[in-house]
């Protein structure tokens, strides 16, 4: 709960802080990495630092948190913190690092806003920071227990052996992996991701997330699209072979298929279908009779990973349909399925819960179409394959 005094000061200074937050987060990361270069090498995603998305995500989350507190000072906006907490646990953030982040964040605030940061202003924003940090630490502690992630990084990362490597398309490779330490495979929910930690040629240990695309008999499967110029995806494609060992954190992620018997819509574009295939696989292996509508968009048949899985899993489900759109179909293809995903020709059953995954323009378009079709916003869940920029999709 934000105190009345701080709420007043935060409200008065939010426009100034909001306007400068991009600059503040840039300087914050510069300071943090100058003091702790190992954090950029071995913890933070340096691709997201280079392209600026993590800076935007941090800035956006603080601004969104402060605004939520002002709108309702007695409520802790836990839902918006869940995504961050899952990511933090998945990469191994420890509680004592919140003090380190605090030190460099507040030094950056003073550097950018100068004399405007009176002791009163500093105290009010300090309160916001610790409300957010304490809320995150509480959710993270619970998640570490649930996911058996352990507090120590040595307990987080487990070795897995690649039992099969399979080329899905020219640019997508699947890896079926089994724990190399003989312990059972960890529990996961359909839609969740694992973090993969890889040692790169310069000695850095970089972490990336990959949604589980299925799994069976004590094994997990994840699938990686080679991104142009992508450090880790390129490295995995070029070097991770059958019989090799790879380090994974336990499955985490706040977007997963909820149990129930209501209708489900799974919409994806490109490599965004990995969590959807895991959800379909779960529905098929549990003999679900739910109404399932799968919608997928891709460039063409050859770039469409899991095309056969989609067909086979849909066929196994008694109440499932699949609708595939290709921008540039090869050969004969129905005109109404040519182009970008368009839900106007797809029947969305009443009471549908929707799961979306794909690039931002796709998420925006499909979410808009679902709202138009009468699906309430609370029933539309989405996963993004990068930091959530809190754009409210």
Ligand X SMILES: Cc1cc2nc3c(=O)[nH]c(=O)nc-3n(C[C@H](O)[C@H](O)[C@H](O)COP(=O)(O)OP(=O)(O)OC[C@H]3O[C@@H](n4cnc5c(N)ncnc54)[C@H](O)[C@@H]3O)c2cc1C
Q: Which residues are catalytic?
A: 98, 140
Give the interface segment with ligand HEM, choosing from 40-48, 109-117, 216-224, 342-350 (CB under 6 A): 40-48
Strands 220-225 and 245-248: unpaired
Work out how close the CB of 152 gets to ligand X at its nearest, in angstroms, rounded to a whole number: 23
Contact status, residue 254 vs residue 193, Cβ threshold 8 Å: no
Residue number, 31 or 299, with CB nearest to ligand HEM: 31
- Residue 201 interacts with ligand X (CB under 6 A)? no
* DSSP line for 181-200: TSSPPPP--TT-EEEEEEE-
Interface size with ligand X, residues (CB under 6 A):
25
Q: Return the residues of window 132-171 that contact ligand HEM according to CB under 6 A.
A: 132-133, 136
- Residue 386 interacts with ligand X (CB under 6 A)? yes
Work out how close the CB of 241 gets to ligand HEM at its nearest, in angstroms, rounded to a whole number: 27
98 binds, among ligand HEM, ligand X, none (CB under 5 to 8 A by kind): ligand HEM
Rounded CA separation 93/55 (Å): 17
Residue with tokens 């839900």: 343
State which H helix or E strand residue 207 sits in.
strand 205-214
Taking residues 31 to 50 in sequence order and writing x for each that binds ligand X by CB under 6 A, - otherwise, the string is --------------x-x--x
Taking residues 157 to 196 in sequence order and writing x for each that binds ligand X by CB under 6 A, - otherwise, the string is ------------------------------------x---
CA atoms within 13 A on the CB side of 216: 6
- Where do runs of H (alpha helix) occur along the chain? 4-35, 37-42, 46-50, 53-71, 78-91, 97-113, 119-146, 153-156, 231-239, 274-285, 307-316, 360-372
How many other CB atoms are there within 10 angstroms of residue 137's CB atom?
Answer: 17
Q: Binding ligand X by CB under 6 A: which of 56, 173, 174, 211?
A: 211
232 binds, among ligand X, ligand HEM, none (CB under 5 to 8 A by kind): ligand X
Contact status, residue 76 vs residue 135, Cβ threshold 8 Å: yes
Contact status, residue 211 vs residue 172, Cβ threshold 8 Å: no
227 binds, among ligand X, ligand HEM, none (CB under 5 to 8 A by kind): ligand X
Q: Binding ligand HEM by CB under 6 A: which of 14, 20, 101, 204?
A: 101
Work out how close the CB of 135 gets to ligand HEM at its nearest, in angstroms, rounded to a whole number: 8
Contact status, residue 189 vs residue 275, Cβ threshold 8 Å: no
Q: How far apart are the first and last CA of the chain?
A: 27
Q: Binding ligand HEM by CB under 6 A: which of 57, 112, 143, 255?
A: 57
62 binds, among ligand X, ligand HEM, none (CB under 5 to 8 A by kind): ligand HEM
Rounded CA separation 4/16 (Å): 20
Residue number, 209 or 291, with CB nearest to ligand HEM: 209
- Residue 388 interacts with ligand HEM (CB under 6 A)? yes
For residue 269 the two structure tokens come to: 């574009």
| Beta-bridge partner residues of 205 | 199
Q: Which residues bind ligand HEM (CB under 6 A)?
A: 39, 43-45, 48, 54, 57-58, 61-62, 83-84, 87-88, 91, 93, 97-98, 101, 129, 132-133, 136, 387-388
């Amino acid at each position: 709960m934000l105190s009345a005094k701080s709420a007043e000061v935060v409200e008065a200074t939010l426009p100034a802080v909001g306007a400068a937050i991009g600059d503040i987060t840039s300087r914050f990361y510069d300071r943090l990495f100058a003091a702790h270069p190992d954090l950029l090498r071995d913890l933070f995603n340096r691709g997201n630092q280079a392209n600026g998305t993590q800076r935007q995500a941090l800035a956006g989350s603080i601004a969104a948190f402060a605004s939520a507190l002002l709108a309702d000072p007695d409520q802790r906006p836990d839902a918006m913190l869940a995504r961050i907490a899952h990511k933090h646990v998945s990469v191994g953030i420890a509680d004592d690092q919140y003090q380190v982040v605090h030190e460099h964040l507040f030094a950056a605030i003073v550097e950018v806003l100068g004399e405007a940061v009176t002791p009163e202003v500093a105290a009010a924003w300090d309160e916001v920071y610790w409300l957010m940090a304490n809320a995150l630490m509480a959710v993270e502690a619970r998640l570490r227990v649930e996911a058996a992630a352990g507090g120590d990084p040595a307990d987080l990362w487990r070795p897995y052996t690649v039992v099969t490597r399979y080329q899905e398309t020219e640019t997508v490779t699947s890896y079926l992996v089994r724990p190399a330490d003989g312990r059972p495979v960890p529990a996961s929910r359909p839609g969740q991701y694992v973090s993969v930690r890889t040692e790169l040629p310069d000695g850095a240990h970089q972490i990336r997330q990959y949604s589980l695309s299925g799994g069976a008999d004590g094994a997990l499967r994840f699938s990686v699209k080679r991104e142009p110029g992508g450090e880790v995806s390129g490295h995995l494609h070029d070097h991770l072979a059958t019989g090799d060992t790879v380090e994974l954190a336990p499955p985490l992620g706040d977007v997963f298929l909820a149990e129930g018997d209501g209708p489900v819509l799974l919409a994806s574009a490109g490599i965004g279908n990995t969590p959807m295939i895991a959800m379909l696989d779960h529905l098929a292996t549990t003999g679900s009779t739910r109404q399932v509508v799968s919608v997928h968009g891709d460039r063409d048949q050859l770039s469409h990973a899991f095309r056969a899985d989609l067909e086979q899993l849909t066929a196994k489900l008694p109440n499932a349909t699949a609708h595939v759109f290709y921008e540039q179909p090869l050969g004969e293809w129905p005109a109404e399925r040519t182009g970008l995903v368009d839900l106007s020709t797809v029947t969305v059953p009443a009471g549908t819960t929707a799961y979306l995954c794909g690039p931002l323009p796709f998420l925006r378009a499909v979410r808009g179409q679902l709202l138009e079709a009468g699906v309430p916003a609370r029933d539309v869940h989405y996963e993004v394959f990068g930091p959530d920029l809190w754009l409210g999709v």
